[in-house]
Amino acid sequence: MRRLAGVDPAAARLGLFAGQKATDAAALAPELVVAEAEPEADAAALGALVDWCVRFSPAVAADPPDGLFLDVEGLSHLWGGEDALMADFRARLAANGLAPRLALADTPGAAWALAHFGVDGTIAAPGDAARWLEPLPPAALRLEPALAAQAERLGLKTVGRLTGLPRAPFARRFGVEALLRLDQALGRAKEALVFRRPPSPWVARLAFAEPVSVPEDLARVSRDICGELCARLEAEGRGARRFELAFHRVDGLAPALSVGLSLAGRDSVRLAKLFAPRLETIDPGFGIEVATLLALDVELLSPRQRRLDAGAEAALEEGLAPLVDRLANRLGEGRVWTACAMESHAPELAAARAPALTAGLAADWDPELPRPLRLFRRPQLLEKVIAPVPDDPPLQFRWRGQLHRIRRAEGPERVAEEWWKHAFEETSPERVRDYYRVEDHDGRRFWVFRAGLYAAGEPAKWWVHGVFG
Amino acid sequence: MSDFRAGRLAAVRARIAALEAGGRGDSESLPFGDPRIDDKLPGGGLPLGAWHEVFGEGLESETAAAPAAFAALAAAPLALRGAAVWVLRRDDLHAPGLAGLGFPPQRLIQVLARDETEVLAVMEDALATTGVAAVFGEAEAVGLVAGRRLQLACEKRGGVGFVIRRKPYGGAARGAAIGAAAASRWRVAAAPSEPAAGDLGLGPPRWRVGLERCRGGRPGAWLFEAARAFAADVLRGKTDGTHPLRLVAELGDRDLAPAQSFRLAG
């Protein structure tokens, strides 16, 4: 059976409603135009809206299918009051073609109830939510529709009547879930919202009377906003490892830049310098009206002591860390690393990449197992190999068009595959490698291996996996 | 000559020396610890505050393993003092191998650049940074302007840079002698190792190293051996203070002839 998923204002005036059978609706309004519901597109649009709302508050949680929660605690002074904040929010949503129902209350539950069943635009004063909730129907508590209907059948037509009931019988009749919803609405129980991104209280916001778009203005804005946030971080003795600078455009898009630091920092000049070369990638469109800077991965950072005999520590702070940050932000994070030891039998996995300047990296490779200076990403097949069977290193081979006669060799070092990582059927002796370190008459040293075990009648395959210096 | 005049002259000389050294006083050097090579180098060792060109020939011009090994070991004593930065074009430098040769890998920062210009730009940036003891870069060629910029960056803090010449696999050779701005130019090739008598397998790695050009020094050729290859103490950052490169012998000109390559029919 096909049902209406949503109706526009004109259809609503004709008496159509969401959830109505499509055939009934067509009977009521023969000229009805229907379009297929697209829940995925709706969800994506809600996600985009949540991202856009970050201009108002860093803590935004989607409430599918059609709602969202905005945590505005401690933010309203930026607009000059909660009603001004709400008016601005409404005006901007309307400018994007949305007709929101808004409510502001102490708890997400109460705000949800007022937005869905109360008067649009209600602002419940702190501690006043219970009074506002009283006249609303039980469905306002986000109960299951069946439960809400049952409550109404029992004559409990308002939330006020429900709150008056003794708790134990209430829980017995309607279930613990319903009691929890009631408590959440009244602020007696905590509710966890899934914020779109981790809420960080470390946010700075600059709004402009006139939209800006000139590159020089963006540079100045990024300097100012970095200075503002870094001053706060400094005052609280914190530093952050990641900063996100978002430019909110007039048309609702918010292109963002992100920089990472190798050590937590709060040096505004350095931070602005990291943003500066990438500002030109920002397309200001018709202008930018708000900029926000968000600090993530905030950690304690004690004030630095300027010492004359500052040694390695100071060099790290003043030289290396900014260098690594510059490189990582200019080239990309995967392109700057320090190798660290990894427990693996596969030689190509033994050196893992760790972010540069990570403290306490293990570099304890086994010195008994010589490894080449250059390790090829893929072993290269050797041609014209002459090697005594079954288990001897090659006497000569051809590689890259050049014949190498082997003078000395040592090995083998048998490297078996990591069979515990695969299904039993996939393991095979074919994947055993016998590595030899060989040296040709000119002194070039190669790391070659034979794939698989010796099998009579089958020519062995030899590969070179790396070269020693 | 009056004392006054002598004093003025000495002051002017000192100023000129300071200007020539790019604002630094005495230019430092890092001795190899053997008079057979140190006597030929200006200041009795590998000059710091300058960059050096290291290259190999034949197969080594593409793999650049022997030049990289020599450069790493020549700078290993510096790498114990501070961080080292290695700028790569191809991501095939294997840290365990570097550690095995005797280069402390704990404070080696590897950077993968996208193109040649970026290699030189990153090198320049790293050389001018406090706390970076040595910078290695793998580049095909260094132009005169880029070389001069590297030199200025080296002089800023007295850092030492190594440009390891390396061309892409299968790439055509480009201008061979573009290292005019480098303080020295080293040709490095692997040499057959000599294991101790009765020892099976390979001996410590050896290199035939030719100093082709050196500002303020004399050219020469030597046979070096990695003194502490595949030893446990280096991996833990411990050393006995000796240079990881041991000079085995000084070579005459005829020893420097390029190794013959076998060409067989078929």
Distance from CA of B98 to the nearest CA of A (A): 6
CB atoms A408 and B261 under 8 Å: no
For A200-211, what is the mean pLDDT?
A: 84
Q: How confident is the model at residue A198 (pLDDT cuts 50, 70, 90)?
A: low
Work out the pLDDT band at B51, boundaries 50, 70, 90.
very high
Q: Is A442 on the interface with B (CB under 8 A)?
A: yes
Chain B CB contacts of A372 under 8 Å are 65, 94, 97
Question: Of B160, B218, B210, which Cα lies nearest the Cα of B57?
Answer: B210
- Which domains are delineated in chain A? 1-37 (no CATH), 40-186 (no CATH), 211-328 (3.30.1490.100), 374-468 (no CATH)
Size of interface A-B (CB pairs under 8 A): 184
Range list of β-strands (E), chain B: 29-30, 46-47, 50-55, 83-88, 108-112, 132-139, 160-165, 184-191, 206-214, 220-226, 245-250
The helix or strand, by DSSP H or E, that contains position A67, with its residue range, turns out to be: strand A67-70
pLDDT of B262 higher than 50: no
Residue B261 has pLDDT above 50, yes or no: no
Residue range A33-68, pLDDT digits in tens = 888 888 888 888 888 888 888 888 888 888 888 889
Question: Which among B63, B82, B206 is the nearest to A374, CB-wise?
Answer: B63
Residue B190 pLDDT? 92
pTM for this structure? 0.67
* Contact between chains at B262 and A400 (C-beta distance less than 8 A): no
pLDDT of residue B77: 86
Q: B29 has which bridge partners?
A: B47
Under an 8 A CB cutoff, do A338 and B92 touch?
no
State the alpha helices, DSSP H only, in A73-166.
Answer: 82-95, 108-117, 129-133, 145-153, 159-163
Which residues 262-321 of A have a C-beta within 8 angstroms of B?
Answer: 312, 315-316, 318-320
* pLDDT digit string, tens, across residues A445-456: 999 998 877 777
Please report which residue ranges of B82-238 form alpha helices under DSSP H: 95-101, 116-127, 144-157, 232-235
Note whether B183 contacts A: Cβ–Cβ < 8 A: no
Would you identify the CATH topology of the domain B24-256?
Answer: Rossmann fold (3.40.50)
B129 touches chain A (CB under 8 A): yes
Give the residue-averaged pLDDT of A115-130.
Answer: 86
> CA–CA distance from B28 to each of A34, A138, A178, B25, B214 (Å)?
83, 84, 79, 9, 15
Chain B partners within 8 Å of A401 (Cβ): none
Joined together, the tokens standing for residue A340 give 């660290």
- Whether B126 and A323 lie within 8 Å, measured CB to CB: yes
Q: Is A409 on the interface with B (CB under 8 A)?
A: yes
B234 touches chain A (CB under 8 A): yes
B50 vs A305, higher pLDDT: B50
Q: With pLDDT > 70 as the criterion, what percentage of chain A qualifies?
A: 95
> Closest Cα to residue A107, out of A82, A93, A83, A128?
A128
CA closest to A376 among chain B residues: B92
Interhelix angle for A145-153 vs A167-174, to 10°? 120
Among A residues 323-352, those touching chain B with beta carbons less than 8 Å apart: 323-324, 326-327, 331, 334-339, 341, 350-351
User: Is the pLDDT reported for residue A306 higher than 50?
Assistant: no
Chain B positions touching A339 (Cβ under 8 A) are 95-96, 105, 108, 110
Q: pLDDT-based confidence at B102, cuts 50/70/90?
A: confident
**Per-residue pLDDT tens for A413-436?**
888 877 777 777 776 767 788 899
**Residue B230 region, left (φ>0) first, then alpha (ψ -120 to 50), else beta?**
left
pLDDT surpassing 50 at residue B195: yes
A394 and A386 Cβ atoms separated by less than 8 Å: yes
Give one DSSP letter per residue of A233-260, joined into a string: HHHTTEEEEEEEEEEEETTS---EEEEE
Which residues from chain A sit within 8 angstroms of residue B200, using beta carbons?
A: 410
Quick one: pLDDT at residue A58? 80
Q: Does A110 touch chain B (CB under 8 A)?
A: no
CA angle A89, A94, A98 (to 5 degrees): 105
Which of B95, B99, B205 has its CB closest to that of A468? Answer: B205
Rounded mean pLDDT, A357-361: 75
Q: Is B66 on the interface with A (CB under 8 A)?
A: yes
Q: Do B126 and A364 touch (CB under 8 A)?
A: no
Average the pLDDT over each of A405-414, B59-68, B173-182 and give the range with the smallest value.
B173-182
Contact criterion met (CB < 8 Å) for B236 and A400: no
**A381 CA: distance to closest CA in chain B (Å):** 16
- Cα of A113 to nearest chain B Cα, Å: 55
Q: Please report the residues numbered 22 through 51 in chain A whose beta carbons come closer than 8 angstroms to any beta carbon of chain B.
A: none
The stretch B17-32 carries a mean pLDDT of 66
Least confident of A67-76, A170-179, B235-244: B235-244
In degrees rounded to 5, what are phi and psi of residue A376?
Answer: -75, 145
CA distance B13 to chain A (A): 31
d(CA A444, CA A469): 8
What would the two tokens of residue A245 be?
């600078």
Q: pLDDT grade, residue A315 (50/70/90)?
A: low
Q: In chain B, which residue's Cα lies nearest the Cα of A334?
A: B112
Interface probe, candidates A270, A274, A323, chain B, greatest B C-beta count within 10 A: A323
pLDDT at position B174 is 61
> How confident is the model at residue B161, as a pLDDT?
93
Per-residue pLDDT tens over the stretch A324-351: 888 888 888 788 888 888 887 788 888 8
Q: B199 — contact with chain A (CB < 8 Å)?
A: no
Contact B158, B24 (CB under 8 A): yes
How much is the pLDDT for A32? 84
Angstrom CA distances, B173 to B60, B90, B177, B262, stand at: 12, 17, 11, 22
Query: What percentage of residues in chain A have a pLDDT greater than 90?
Result: 8
| Tens-digit pLDDT profile for residues B138-189 | 998 888 888 889 998 988 888 899 999 998 887 766 655 555 778 899 999 9
Answer whether residue B59 shows pLDDT above 80. yes
Per-residue model confidence (pLDDT) at position B206: 92
Q: Do A465 and A377 form a contact (C-beta atoms < 8 A)?
A: no
Q: Among B48, B25, B245, B37, which Cα is nearest to B151's?
A: B48
Q: What residues of chain A lie within 8 A of the CB of B82, using their CB? A: 312, 315
User: pLDDT confidence of B113, banded at 50, 70, 90?
Assistant: very high
Q: Which two tokens stand for residue A404?
A: 């190498």
